[in-house]
Amino acid sequence: MNRRDFFKFGFGGAGLAVGGGLASGADNSPSSPGRSVYSHPSWVKMISRPKLAVDDNVYSRFNARNNIFGSFTRYYGEENRKELMKESRNRTMEYYLEKRPGYRLEDRALADAAWVISRLGGLNRGTRAWTSKSVRSPEQRGVEKYTGSPEETARLIKAAARYFGAATVGITILDRRHIHSQERGKQIVFEKADEPYEDEKKLVIPDKCKYAIALSVQMSLDNLQCSPTAISSAGSSMGYSRCEFLVAGLAQFIRGLGYVAIPSVNDLGSSVAIGVDAGLGELGRTNRLITPEFGPSVRLCKVLTDLPLATDKPIDFGLLEFCKICKRCAEACPSNCISFDDQPSFRVKGEWNNPGHQAWFEDAPKCFAYWQKSTSGCSICIPVCPWAKKDKTMIHEIVKAASAKIPALDIFFNTMDEAFGYGRQKDADKWWSLNLPEYGIDTTQGKG
């Protein structure tokens, strides 16, 4: 009996009433046969709409140029940016010379090397190209394109996604408002077309691409716990590289079945919004997706397709209530960019936020400026989250299940989490001596 079954049957029949109650209270009915390949823990509830509200009169497509990477200079000021970069360069050299753990040549080289696959793709470029000449289509094989029920197809897609490295997979009907209006200086438009294409002015997504496959990839907590160092940065960049491989492989698989597939990582649209709709997780205080299995320790990516698929539902695992009282990420954030508000709201912090939905909006320029100051990026908010756990002991599953069902215990759980030392920064020097599994992650985690 594995740990998930143990919980499903009420803590192995040990007679702990609380366990039985927690397990049996969950709506664990399969929402699609795809769930036979992947399902959330039994204490995760399926709901019809995401818990945080969307104002349909305001929420619209976001111009990617306004994100922090595209407009940092505009938000921070040209002079301030120059000063910041100078400070960052000086500090980088200072850390090199003093051989500070986590900032030495080997640490930086590791972080850079972990990006290597990610750099093979971009919006409709390289591994993220919207069409492929190398795929063997059903036509070339002399057969009809794949036909199966949406449920059966969802099962295939989820199995293939897992095979290509997805930690969790969800499917949703694409809400076009999640897709950027412009990116790379071009309009992104939906048109009646057989294949996606790009010309000098626009990127065209065929109208028939109605489905979005939301995918998460685990990041190594052992790396992220060393944040803010290059070791932590390597955890993040490795996540991106694995996303790259995942979306490229899955898109090619779908094309091989005879359908359109548009692979995407952070480009094209909001992976977080699509992930929430597809039931990968909930929106947390960091304004990022938090999953029940890995907390925020995931990278997200997606594939848009016209392949008919059974869809999943958004989920509720008590995160909203937990984030209201926890605030550990906001307290730990060295740039003070995460909101301390008790409640999520519609009030954005600046142009970098897409308005029209409830969230704890972040002060992105402060965050990005700290990335430069630290010289190696930052992901402190990820390992301090009490939902980011390695799952090697039963207590984490008990606490998560109890928190999902009894929000009154959240304060106690948060206090205990801190008291037991979770979320503390680890010594980057010791990372090199850890006997880590492949990619630094436990690929069996959260799989039941």
**Residues within the interface to other proteins (CB under 8 A):** 14, 222, 389-390, 392-395, 419-422, 424, 426, 434
Give the nearer residue to other proteins in terms of CB position, either 345 or 393: 393
DSSP string, 228-291: SSHHHHHHHHHHHHHHHHHHHHHHHHHHHTT--EEEESSSSB-HHHHHHHTTS-EE-TTSSEEB
- End-to-end CA distance of the chain, in Å? 10
Rounded least distance, CB 416 to other proteins, Å: 10
| Residues contacting residue 378 through CB under 8 Å, at least 6 positions apart | 227, 228, 232, 334, 335, 367, 370, 371
Q: Which of 222/277 has CB closer to other proteins?
A: 222
- For residue 92, give the nearest of 293, 229, 253 by alpha carbon: 229
CB 279 within 8 A of CB 212: no
- Residue nearer to other proteins on the CB measure, 394 or 411: 394
Q: Which residues contact 104 (CB under 8 A, 6 or more apart)?
A: 95, 96
Task: Give the residue ranges of DSSP H helices in 115-209.
Answer: 138-141, 150-163
Sign of CA dihedral 101, 103, 108, 111: positive
Q: How far is the CB of 102 from other proteins (least distance, A)?
A: 16
Kindly tell me which of 50 and 423 has the beta carbon lying closer to other proteins.
423
Distance of closest approach, residue 390 Cβ to other proteins, in angstroms: 4
Whole-number minimum distance, CB 446 to other proteins, in Å? 15
The answer to whether the CB of 365 falls within 8 A of the CB of 76 is yes
The nearer residue to other proteins, 221 or 303, going by C-beta atoms, is 221
The least CB distance from residue 404 to other proteins, in Å, is: 20
Looking at beta carbons only, is 141 or 424 nearer to other proteins?
Answer: 424
Beta carbon of residue 419, minimum distance to other proteins (angstroms, whole number): 8
